[in-house]
Chain A
Amino acid sequence: MWKGKSLLLGAGITVAIVIAFICTMSAFDDQALSKTSDQTQKTVMYRADIITFDNMDAFGKLEKPKAVFLHDLHTDALEKKHKDCVTCHMSENGRMSPKFMHLKDIGPEELTKIYCDNCTKCHSETIAAGEKAGPVKCDDCHRQRPLIKSSMVEMGFDKSLHYRHLKAQKDHCEKCHHEYNEKTQKLFYAKGKEGTCRYCHKKGTQSNKMEKVISMRLASHYACIDCHQKTMAMQMNAGPVRCAGCHDATEQSKIEKISHVPRLKRGQPDNVLINTGDPKSRIPQMMRVPFDHKAHEEYNDTCRVCHLASLDACVKCHPLTGSTDKKVITLETAFHKQGHQSSCFGCHESKQQDKRCAGCHAVMAKDGRKDSAACLRCHMVPLPERTGVLSTSKAAKMARLMPQLWKETFGPIYRVQVPKTVVIKNLMDRYGPVEYPHRKVYHAIVNKMQDSKLAQYFHYSETTLCLGCHHHSPVDGNPPKCENCHGAPFDKNHLDRPGIKASYHQQCMGCHQRMGVTKYLSCTSCHKERKKELQVSSK
């Protein structure tokens, strides 16, 4: 029996220990919870001038959470004391470095020392002078859950801003644009080679064999702020130097925009005839595509919308023939890729989401299959000889004249006889007939196209407009009746073909919904309810 007793005692003690352990753990948990709820109670502030010291990331995992630094707050505080940027920033080659009291990110210990010592030194001195100052304790800067969060918006250099700088710098491109000479390890200016900063300055600083290409972030802060400050020092009108000036949403919207920006001079062509193969070859190939480069410059805010990696011709990066190398994107893919803003197809398709276009275009399948007739809108058939523009003419001339002459020859023609009203009465039961104002709707759609060059180009004749409703029909203005295809619902052989009743409702109501025509969405707005005795139930 003694053995049993001792076993029981042992079990009892173990259970007691476990219970005690669980209790203390939950108590700790409670403390942790109450701590977080305390913190969330304090309202989180949003500011655009937050800086986190990301340069420390290069040295691996950090000991403490990143400190949050409010730059504009410090600029203002120093200004009051008649101190300037030099208090914190050193200069290199006559340019102020955006780094804090150092020029190169030497090592983790050194950097920690530079940041912590200098920050706390200034803060404690200010406190000693009886003024308000920032933290002096580690954890007040390195907070697990910072009380201030970033509302920073990215800044970009659009066409308008570029033009304003160009004007201010009196067309001296070399003030900003440069190339890098690997041999001499120096920056130099090359005329006609200018490109977007981001072609070389990527998201992070990149170390190559010879050179070190600094990140876009660092490069823009070096170049922009330094220049703005110098301009300001000359008592001239200059761009922002404070964080919020560029990165605050409201401040950003205040930046002056020029509505009509003159064309950039970078030696780009007005019109391009895009080859689909060797033009001299006798092997059959797709028709060449005339492309209006000049017009497309106006539609976009920056060159890099289309020119992703360089300002060279598309074919330089996207070859005409495919390769086993997965990285190679053919010209065909680059131009026809769906859902990509940089491809012709992707960008044009995104325009179809406009309220004015979505009524018809949203119904159309997005499975990448296109009617082969649509190919010819871009891959244009050479002009007839009588026009004087021969297929042997210069490419630029052809590219310029082909669309123009074809338009003059063939369109746009809107001459189809559209019936004034169509009465839909074969489905009458609960509701009476629908008097569909066919011509009115047609003209409304034509009107919606008027200010869109894109829509007018692709809807070169009215028959293309008819296809919005009269889908899968010949493009000759004589469409079949809806009932020819749509009959009873749930046809096994045509699973996705709605019955006649649903066809009307899906087509009309779907279009009204997508185009924002809210007036005709209820049942009785199109057909009146019939008297009970007239209703013949199909059941």
Chain B
Amino acid sequence: MTISRRKFLGWLGAAGMSTAFGKSAAAATHEHFTGYPNSFAILHDITLCVGCRTCEDACNKVNHLPPPDKPFTDLAVLDKHRRTTTKAYTVVNKYENKGPSKGPVFYKKQCNHCLEPACASACFVRALTKTSTGAVIYDSSVCVGCRYCMIACPFEIPTYEYDQVLTPRIQKCTMCYPRIIKGQLPGCVEACPMEALSFGKRKEMIKLARMRFQKHPDRYVDHIYGEHEMGGSSWLYISGTPFKDLGMREDLGVTPAPQLTAGALSSVPVIAGLWPALLAGIYAVSKRKEKIARTEKEQAVAAAMDKKGAATTQTEEES
């Protein structure tokens, strides 16, 4: 079958219309989802952190992780910037102080437990889920090991057990989900001697951060990191040193990750479901047109032949 230019453009137009009248991108994701109303959050006041690594120690203990290469009391570890590993869900890093106070600053890094996690939206088996407590938890029993979550996470948090040949898992901070549902504090929060980590309802933690800004406007950068970043997260940070100087990304915007992909993904069912029917319809219509045209042509030819035949017989008769 040859496709004429007009026909091709017609198809294109029809396809365009069908997508245009499909679901809008925003409707595919939640309608301005601002997190579970009573979810918990942890506020990390970077100005209070003294870099004692007690949180790392506590995290190791409550999660039954293997003992570290160097003891948690060894503060020389802080001299090198580290990232989270399968054996350390959280790490404290030391940075140069560019704020009003003196001495170095310490920033604790772990999973931010986004309100709309990119990792969970990338996971096609729902191994990662955002719970109503605020914690983003992982179910290794369904995980297929695709590591899409690692690529999706803008904070480079999930890690993969490459050394486990048969049962590799994704490893990251659980916000101590098993502990919070029992009414206990997360391990790191409980251990922190300075209360540089505060635990409570997310809205209260935001209130607390604002209270500190008001009390000490000279001490803080007037911004709660995590309040809106990537749609907001269940870990919030306040600091005296600009966040970008602590290696924290400021280019993420306020749109939750799932919303960025929802537009493209929402058109998948439209294209997958509607297009075949549409194309088949168009094909059928054009086929019918062709059929009608052919019949008409045949009839015309037949008529012409009949006419010609009649004329010939007439001449024959005449001759």
Contacts and interface: CB of A to CB of B under 8 A. Distances in A.
A425 interface: no
Interface stretch (A375-383, A468-476, A499-507): A499-507
Given A495-B204, A513-B102, A506 B214 contact: no
Interface residues of B, number: 27
Given A490-B199, A495-B211, A502-B193, 8 more contacts: A366-B218, A367-B215, A367-B217, A489-B199, A499-B195, A501-B193, A506-B194, A513-B101
B200 interface: yes
Closest 8 pairs (CB-CB, A-B) = A502-B195, A365-B215, A495-B208, A505-B193, A498-B195, A505-B194, A496-B211, A490-B200
A113 interface: no
6 contacts: A367-B214, A489-B199, A495-B207, A505-B195, A509-B194, A539-B184
A514 B204 contact: no
A366 B215 CA distance: 5
A209 to B, nearest CB: 44
Contacts of A538: 190
B52 to A, nearest CB: 7
Interface string B200-220: 100010011001101111100
Contacts of A496: 208, 211-212, 215
A502 B204 CA distance: 19
B216 A366 contact: yes
A472 to B, nearest CB: 13
A514 B100 CA distance: 11
Contact of B204 (A492, A505, A506, A523): A492
B67 interface: no
Dominant SS at the A interface? loop
Interface string A268-310: 0000000000000000000000000000000000000000000
A502 B52 contact: no
Contacts of A122: none
Interface string A469-496: 0000000000000000000011010011
Given A495-B204, A521-B50, A514 B194 contact: no
Contacts of B101: 513-514
Contacts of B50: 509, 521
Contacts of A505: 193-195
B52 A523 contact: yes
B284 to A, nearest CB: 30
Contacts of A489: 185, 195, 198-199
A502 B103 CA distance: 20
Contacts of B190: 538-539
A502 B190 CA distance: 11
B62 A539 contact: yes
How many chain A residues sit at the interface, stated as a range, is: 20 to 34
A538 to B, nearest CB: 8
B48 interface: yes
Interface in A489-539: 489-490, 492, 495-496, 498-499, 501-502, 505-506, 509, 513-514, 521, 523, 538-539
B45 to A, nearest CB: 10
B283 to A, nearest CB: 26
Interface of B: 48, 50, 52, 62, 101-103, 184-185, 190, 192-195, 198-200, 204, 207-208, 211-212, 214-218
Which residue of B48, B192, B195, B217 has the most chain A CB atoms within 10 A of its CB atom? Answer: B195
Contacts of A509: 50, 194
A514 B195 contact: no
B178 to A, nearest CB: 12
B199 to A, nearest CB: 6
Contacts of B184: 539
Given A366-B215, A513-B103, A492 B193 contact: no
A506 B199 contact: no
A539 B63 CA distance: 13
Contacts of A502: 192-195
Nearest to B216: A366
Contacts of B215: 365-367, 496
Nearest to A523: B52
Nearest to A513: B103
B194 A490 contact: no
Given A490-B200, A495-B204, A506 B217 contact: no
Nearest to B75: A522
Contacts of B200: 490, 492, 495
A509 B216 CA distance: 18
Contacts of A498: 195
Given A366-B217, A489-B195, A492-B200, A506 B211 contact: no
Interface in A341-375: 365-367
A283 B62 CA distance: 67
Contacts of B214: 367
A539 B207 CA distance: 29
Contacts of B207: 495
Nearest to A488: B185
A126 to B, nearest CB: 50
Nearest to B73: A523
Contacts of B211: 495-496
A160 to B, nearest CB: 31
A308 B89 CA distance: 57
Contact of B195 (A365, A366, A492, A506): A506
B198 A490 contact: yes
Interface string A126-146: 000000000000000000000
B120 to A, nearest CB: 27
B238 to A, nearest CB: 12
Contacts of A492: 200, 204
- Of the candidates A367, A501, A539, the one having the most CB atoms from chain B within 10 angstroms of its own CB is A539
A492 B205 CA distance: 10
Nearest to B47: A510
B102 A365 contact: no
Contact of B102 (A366, A367, A501, A514): A514
Nearest to B213: A367
Nearest to A349: B218
Contacts of B199: 489-490
A523 B192 CA distance: 12
B280 to A, nearest CB: 31
A495 B192 CA distance: 17
A365 B199 CA distance: 22
Nearest to B58: A539
A367 B215 CA distance: 5
A360 B192 CA distance: 23
A119 B62 CA distance: 79
Nearest to B194: A505
B95 to A, nearest CB: 16
A98 B195 CA distance: 63
A196 to B, nearest CB: 30
B50 to A, nearest CB: 6
Contacts of B204: 492, 495
Contacts of A521: 50
Contacts of B62: 539
A328 B164 CA distance: 74
